Amino acid sequence: MSMESTFTKEIIQDIRDLLESKQEDKLLERIGPIHAADLAMVVNELSIEEAKLLFEFVDAVKASEILVNMDEDDRDELVESFTAHELASYFIENLESDDAADVLGVLSDEKTEEVISHLDDVDHASDIVDLLQYKEGTAGSIMAKELVKVQENWTVSTTVREMRKQAENVENIYTIYVTDENDLLLGRLSLRRLLNTAVKTQISDIYKPGLEVVKTYTDVETVANKMKKYDFVAMPVVDEIGRLVGRITIDDVVDVITEEAEKDYQLASGISQNVDYSDNVWMLTRARLPWLLLGLLGGIFGAQIIGLYEADLRLYPEMAFFIPLIAAMGGNVGVQSSAIIVQGLASESFLSLEIFPKLKKEFMVALVNGLVCSIIILGYNLIFSESMNMSITVSIALLCVILFAGLFGTFIPLVLNKYKIDPALATGPFITTVNDILGLLIYFAIGRMMYA
């Protein structure tokens, strides 16, 4: 009963061979039982020529489903290679307005206009044009215009008739929205209630007023957090004066949540753009090199700090032994504390954004961790090291570094967030690098005091 859902190179090779030998019937038979989302993964791997041939063979509905499921980079490249007429008839006519706007996003204004001009359905065309206006990252940019809405002054029987019409264009209904005659959103109507009410009843008597909404300009992360928090599968989008203009469904929001989580994870790992393994060497390099250069700069500063203590090192080379320890621990603690703040900010779970109470709490955590680590390393040094001075230096420095790194890692993302800068930037290489440098300063300063 279940269809295939994992892919092997063999399947891609099969499809390639059938494409090359232009065996249309055999190809259709081979891909018939495969879900569009899986076929999209295959098409990602094909050359432009192969992909275009495949799209010629399959019907337009399947073609458009495959297209929207493709990786964005591969899809954009492919979309640009089609003529405006092909785009309109193969894909855009069969896509919901939000997916259509998404696909067209990569094209120039002129070509987009040309594609739109080839659409027969004027309503569909104007829906897409509407959506293209909204700024990326806003609710307007990810909403769809397709939804089921009924008016409060209709009767149940009018409503059922109208709903049948509207449902033609809507893949999943989820919610029946109730508006006044000016499209002002009033509330929602339960399908159960509708089915159980006499046909002459007016909608105004049976709908449930009040509804959680978002504005067209609300940013998508806020939308995602709301839908996640309230367990919504769809959410209405209204304009400045409360008119219903579209709705956002959970599948779009799942993508937002995933991308957001991936982005934070990547930033924490020192990867500055949304790349994945399938991207080419050049893109992967470009996403990683900036953070490495930051680390390089940090290393140069570190070298200069140690350079200041060259004379001390000549006398007490054992001071060098614990440089990696001090640097690593500062980095680790900073990353931990910033990650906890970044995650709290991302899930909007802080009751207040006050900085001081958070520093106080982190101080306690860092103090416990710092004392444990310092005592362990003191024990180690008392047993294995001959220098009492160094033993004490390392332990005191380690405690200071852990305390400092914890506070710094807590403070920076909160401040960035206050100034509307993505706090996730503060995790990973940035915090590690800064804590490396400051850790060395603390270590050598304490060392000089102890040895003086």
Region 229-268 residues binding a copy of itself, contact defined as CB under 8 A: 229-231, 233, 242, 249-251, 253-255, 257-258, 261-262, 264-266, 268
What are the strands of the beta sheet with 176-179, ordered from one edge? 148-151, 176-179, 185-189, 208-209
Query: Site residues for a copy of itself, window 105-144 (CB under 8 A)?
Result: none
Distance CA 418, CA 406 (A): 19
Binding map of a copy of itself across residues 310-349, x = CB under 8 A, - = no contact: x--xx--xx-xxxxxxxxxx-xxx-xx-xxxx-xx--xxx
Nearer to a copy of itself, 36 or 116 (CB): 36
CA count, 13 A, side-chain hemisphere, 78: 30
Positive or negative torsion for Cα 169, 80, 288, 273:
negative
Query: Site residues for a copy of itself, window 407-436 (CB under 8 A)?
Result: 427-429, 432-433, 436
Is 8 a binding residue for a copy of itself by CB under 8 A? The answer is yes
Give the binding-site size for a copy of itself (rule: CB under 8 A).
128
Q: Amino acid identity of 38? A: D
Nearest distance from residue 119's CB to a copy of itself, in Å? 24
Nearer to a copy of itself, 126 or 273 (CB): 273
Length of the chain (residues): 452
Nearest distance from residue 224's CB to a copy of itself, in Å? 9
Nearest distance from residue 297's CB to a copy of itself, in Å? 9
**Could you count the other beta carbons within 10 Å of the beta carbon of residue 337?**
28
Task: Give the alpha-carbon dihedral of 277, 281, 287, 291, to 10 degrees.
Answer: 110
Task: Give the alpha-carbon dihedral of 309, 311, 314, 317, to 10 degrees.
Answer: -20
Nearest distance from residue 300's CB to a copy of itself, in Å? 6
Which 8-state DSSP code applies to residue 70? S
Nearer to a copy of itself, 23 or 204 (CB): 204
Residues 48, 293, 382, 449: which binds a copy of itself (CB under 8 A)? 293
**Could you count the other beta carbons within 10 Å of the beta carbon of residue 320?**
12
Query: Site residues for a copy of itself, window 46-85 (CB under 8 A)?
Result: 69
Nearest distance from residue 261's CB to a copy of itself, in Å? 3
Query: Do 27 and 46 form a contact (C-beta atoms < 8 A)?
Result: no
Nearest distance from residue 304's CB to a copy of itself, in Å? 8
Nearer to a copy of itself, 140 or 270 (CB): 270
Nearer to a copy of itself, 41 or 125 (CB): 41
Nearer to a copy of itself, 67 or 107 (CB): 67
Query: Site residues for a copy of itself, window 194-223 (CB under 8 A)?
Result: 195-196, 210-213
Nearest distance from residue 386's CB to a copy of itself, in Å? 11
Query: Do 15 and 55 form a contact (C-beta atoms < 8 A)?
Result: no
Name the one range near a copy of itself by CB under 8 A: 79-87, 125-133, 135-143, 227-235.
227-235
Nearest distance from residue 100's CB to a copy of itself, in Å? 16
DSSP string, 76-107: HHHHHHS-HHHIIIIIGGGS-HHHHHHHHTTS
What residue spans of 237-322 are helical by DSSP H? 250-268, 281-308, 310-315
Query: Site residues for a copy of itself, window 152-191 (CB under 8 A)?
Result: 164, 167-168, 172-174, 185, 191
Binding map of a copy of itself across residues 362-401, x = CB under 8 A, - = no contact: --xx--xx--xx--xx--x---------------------
Nearest distance from residue 66's CB to a copy of itself, in Å? 13
Of 294, 295, 275, nearest to 285 by C-alpha is: 275
Query: Do 146 and 190 form a contact (C-beta atoms < 8 A)?
Result: no
Q: Which residues of 292-304 are buried (b: 16+ CB within 10 A; e: fewer)?
A: eebbeebeebbee
Residue 132, both tokens: 């293209």
Nearer to a copy of itself, 107 or 144 (CB): 144
Bridge-partner residues for 187, per DSSP? 178, 209
Residues 41, 103, 125, 143: which binds a copy of itself (CB under 8 A)? 41
In the numeric block, the tokens 């359905």 are attached to: 121
**Residue 178 parent element (H or E):** strand 176-179
Residues 108, 122, 182, 352: which binds a copy of itself (CB under 8 A)? 352
